[in-house]
Amino acid sequence: MTQTIPPGAPETGSGGALDAAELVEGLRGVFGAGVTKPLAWRTAQLRGLQRMLAEQEAAFVEALEADLGKHGTESWITELGFTSNEITHTLNRLRSWVRPRATSLPLWMRPARAKVVREPLGVVLVISPWNYPVQLSLTPVVGALAAGNAVVLKPSELAPATSAALARLLPRYVDPAAVRVVEGGAPETTELLAQRWDHIFFTGTSAVGRIVLEAAAQHLTPVTLELGGKSPAFVDEGADLHTAARRIVWGKFTNAGQTCVAPDFVIATRPVLDALKPLLDRAIREFYGADPALSDDYGRIVNERHFGRLAALINGAHVTRGGQVDRASRYIEPTILDGVDGDHLAMQEEIFGPILPLVEVGGVDEAIEFITERDKPLALYVFTNRAETRRRFIRDTSSGALGFNAPLLHMAAPDLPFGGVGPSGMGKYHGEESMALFSHAKAVLDVPARPDALVAIYPPFTSLKEAI
Ligand code: NAD
């Protein structure tokens, strides 16, 4: 296992390599000594993370460019700036989030007093994916540190430059005794998963999510699973199609479609699809030029395997726009497939790439039926001007999030819980939800010894029965 051993970290092994059991034991010792609990420690970690994002911006931008061909501005908006905003939001509210909250009590319990005290869980494991390798590594870490935990971060081996940057830089900005980065892939993660953790936070595919859940069951460890799925975009009759087209193109082709909450497919009536097609095409040209292969603003597919999987989805008969691919540079042109039905290959699994199928339905009712007879999505987008359509989708569909007239943006509102439902995941984070997730709400009840009001409920029960 490749692991960064920072200067000042507890001495636990020879030759600089720790095994997973020793790693967790060391962190448990640090947590047990109370190092991570004080508010001052927590805020220092968050400030350290924020300083790292500012001072090391160039290093992270370079790594993201190398891993995913991301433009620096996109990296700032979707990764570094995003995480920095989450930190600011947390720092501004942390004191009130951790304050014990007094609760009311039933009359018969008084004069007892009750409060809820948030306590950290202990040592938590964060396993992250490759597609937003800074944001999806650090945003959960922000919550875990704000709640006063020790953390091991396992970034994705499929974004190796970013993984290496995190391993190299994090120990310089946060307490190296309580925050560790372990690099590696399935074998290293398997070794980590065999340990007893106080919480496991996983972002990735449902296949690996199942592995995580099974491993956690051995220790009854609570788990958060941030998974994927097919997020539909319904475009209603009468919607502002110009804006809908631009926003769908932005949401779909950002990061070359490798976004967990990207609109996976568009669903609408035939007249709406026919009116939308030229507008989608125009938005793609506006954003990425006549040849997106030449645009600095357009990303590349992460690896050969994903390139091959995506290229196989492009079926000539259905391509209405795009379709060009280049294996050498792992380029896939922004592609639109029309005439796609529920049986098409592209509708069998999450696309996770720059291919947008258009699915025809008869109207709102049929769209809702199409959506609800499939797995509950991570996000559902509805482009509409009608209050009745909004009402129908809120009432009659279920999804991790529901966005009207804009994809992706709900992620950037820290007071909105972020997470899936059903097959798209379990558990929520961001903002105060992260605090709730990475801490235990302990019930504290304080009953005065005198007067002993409990005499009324002690046995023998004869007198109680008489009173009733
Ligand atoms: P993945 O499941 O392949 O990998 C995620 C992590 O698990 C990586 O760190 C990887 O090293 C580790 N891993 C891989 N195979 C493993 C195994 N056999 N045993 C133990 N660990 C293993 O996911 P990915 O390809 O990195 O990410 C893409 C998926 O993540 C998509 O499905 C996407 O929708 C989803 N995703 C969800 C969110 C969200 O917030 N809900 C965000 C981003 C991505």
Nearest Cα to Cα of residue 373 among 405, 408, 407, 397: 397
**Taking the CA of residue 308 as centre, how many other CA atoms within 13 Å lie in the half-sphere pointing to its CB?**
3
Measured by CA distance, the residue closest to atom 13 of ligand 1 is 186
Is residue 69 within 8 Å of residue 131, measured between CB atoms?
no
CA of 365 to the centre of ligand 1 (A): 34
Residue 279 CA to residue 177 CA, distance in Å, equals 54
Chain-centroid distance, C-alpha 200: 13
Is residue 270 within 8 Å of residue 300, measured between CB atoms?
no
User: For ligand 1, is residue 131 a contact (CB within 6 Å)?
Assistant: yes
CA of 371 to the centre of ligand 1 (A): 24
Is residue 229 within 8 Å of residue 350, measured between CB atoms?
yes
User: For ligand 1, is residue 21 a contact (CB within 6 Å)?
Assistant: no
3-state secondary structure of 31: helix
User: For ligand 1, is residue 428 a contact (CB within 6 Å)?
Assistant: no
Nearest Cα to Cα of residue 303 among 272, 330, 270, 321: 330
Pairing status of strand 439-446 against strand 113-120: antiparallel
| Residue 454: per-residue pLDDT | 82
User: Where do we find the tokens 């190296």?
Assistant: 176
User: For ligand 1, is residue 410 a contact (CB within 6 Å)?
Assistant: no
Nearest Cα to Cα of residue 286 among 246, 233, 334: 246
In the chain, the N- to C-terminal Cα span, in Å, equals: 67
Residue 354 CA to residue 249 CA, distance in Å, equals 10
| Residue 468: per-residue pLDDT | 59
User: Is-catalytic flag, 226?
Assistant: yes
Q: Which of 183, 226, 333, 360 is catalytic?
A: 226
∠ CA 417-418-420, nearest 5°, is 120
| Residue 172: per-residue pLDDT | 98
User: For ligand 1, is residue 190 a contact (CB within 6 Å)?
Assistant: yes
User: For ligand 1, is residue 247 a contact (CB within 6 Å)?
Assistant: no
Does the interface predicted TM-score (ipTM) exceed 0.85?
A: yes
| Residue 100: per-residue pLDDT | 97
Is residue 60 within 8 Å of residue 165, measured between CB atoms?
yes
CA of 85 to the centre of ligand 1 (A): 24
Is residue 432 within 8 Å of residue 415, measured between CB atoms?
yes
User: For ligand 1, is residue 127 a contact (CB within 6 Å)?
Assistant: yes
Across the chain, which has 468 residues, the per-10-residue mean pLDDT values are 46 51 98 98 98 98 94 95 98 98 92 96 98 98 98 97 98 98 97 98 97 98 97 98 98 96 98 98 98 95 95 89 96 97 94 98 98 98 98 98 98 96 97 98 96 83 63
Residue 225 CA to residue 194 CA, distance in Å, equals 17
| Residue 110: per-residue pLDDT | 85
Residue 285 CA to residue 262 CA, distance in Å, equals 19
CA of 153 to the centre of ligand 1 (A): 14
Q: How many CB atoms lie within 10 A of CB 228?
A: 27
∠ CA 273-274-277, nearest 5°, is 80
Hey, which of 2, 125, 260 would you mutate to test ligand 1's pocket, going by the most ligand atoms within 8 Å of its Cβ?
260
From the number of C-beta atoms within 10 Å of its C-beta (0-12, 13-18, 19+), residue 222 rates as middle
Give the sign of the dihedral formed by CA 265, CA 270, CA 276, CA 277.
positive
Is residue 116 within 8 Å of residue 144, measured between CB atoms?
no
CA of 102 to the centre of ligand 1 (A): 40
The token duo for 140 is 């959960």
Is residue 322 within 8 Å of residue 302, measured between CB atoms?
no
The token duo for 211 is 């592995």
CA of 206 to the centre of ligand 1 (A): 8
3-state secondary structure of 167: helix
Ligand 1 atom with minimal separation from the 425 CA: 41
User: For ligand 1, is residue 224 a contact (CB within 6 Å)?
Assistant: no
